[in-house]
Amino acid sequence: MKEMKFGDLILTALAVVAAVWAVAFAVLSWGGGIVIGREPYPYGGPTVLGNKGRTVVSAIRVVDKDREASGAGGLWPAKGAWASSTDYLDHLLELEDCALCKSDVDGPWCCLAGIAGEDDSMPFLWTDNLEVTDAMLRGEDVDWGGQLRDEGPVVIVRKSGSMQIVKKKQLSAETFFDMSWGGALPRDPDALEVLKPLPAPEPAGDGRP
C-alpha cells in the first residue's frame, strides 16, 4: 500500500469535514429546522426561537409600561381572558402600539396568564414540548423531565425578557422558576393559567397546509 503524505492526509481530513457539514446542512434544510415539540419547524433552532420570544416580551414590557402611565389596560394576559396562547399572540399582531411584536410572535409557545403581579423571573413563554400542570405551579413534587414530550430542550422566556434553554436532565422547579438566581414559586398559583397553542392545521392532500 502506498504511504500517504502529510499533505494528502490534511486534504482528506478537510474533505471529510466539508462532507459532514454539507450533510448536516441538508438535513436541517430538509427538516425545516431543529425539532422541539411535535414537529420540525422553520424557526432556526432553540437560540433563534428564544431570541424571537425575547423580542415579544420586551415589546410587551414597553407597551405595558406606557399603558400603565396613561391609565389604559395592561398587556399581560389575564386568567380566563384567552382560550389559547395562539389567540393571545395573534391579538398582539393587531395592536398598533406593539409594533415590535408583529414579526416575532410565531412559534410553538405556551404562555402563563395572570403574571402581571409576579416577579420578573416568572416564566412567561416556553416551548410547548413541556406540559406544565397546576401541581407544578404549586411546587409539588413532580418529575419535570417526565413532562417532556421529547428529549428537549425547552426554551423559556421570562417576564423580564431573559431567555434560557434548558436540557431535559436539567429540568426541575428550581430551573423553571430560576430559583438559583433569586426566582421563586408563584405567589398565587391559583391566579395563573397555562395557555397552550392551538393544534397546527392538518396539511392538505397536496402537501400544503
pLDDT at 136: 97
DSSP E strands: which ranges in the chain?
A: 109-113, 123-127, 154-158, 163-166, 193-195
pLDDT of residue 138: 96
Q: State the pTM of this model.
A: 0.76
Going by the DSSP 8-state scheme, the letter that residue 41 receives in this structure is -
Q: Which three cell numbers stand for residue 132?
A: 406544565
What is the rounded distance in angstroms from the CA atom of residue 181 to the CA atom of residue 167?
A: 18
pLDDT value at position 103?
60
- For residue 202, the model assigns a pLDDT of 65
Q: How far is CA 73 from CA 12, 65, 68, 130, 174, in A?
A: 64, 10, 7, 30, 32
For 167-186, b where at least 16 C-beta lie within 10 A, e where not — what string?
ebebbebebbbbeeeebeeb
For 67, the grid coordinates are: 399603558
Q: What is the DSSP string of 72-89?
A: PPPSSPPTTS-S-HHHHH
Question: Which parts of the chain sit beneath pLDDT 70?
Answer: 1-43, 99-106, 201-209
Residue 127 · residue 110 · CB < 8 Å:
yes
Strand order, beta sheet including 193-195: 163-166, 154-158, 123-127, 109-113, 193-195
Distance CA 133, CA 180 (A): 22
- Domain spans in the chain, listed from the N-terminal domain onward: 1-31, 46-195
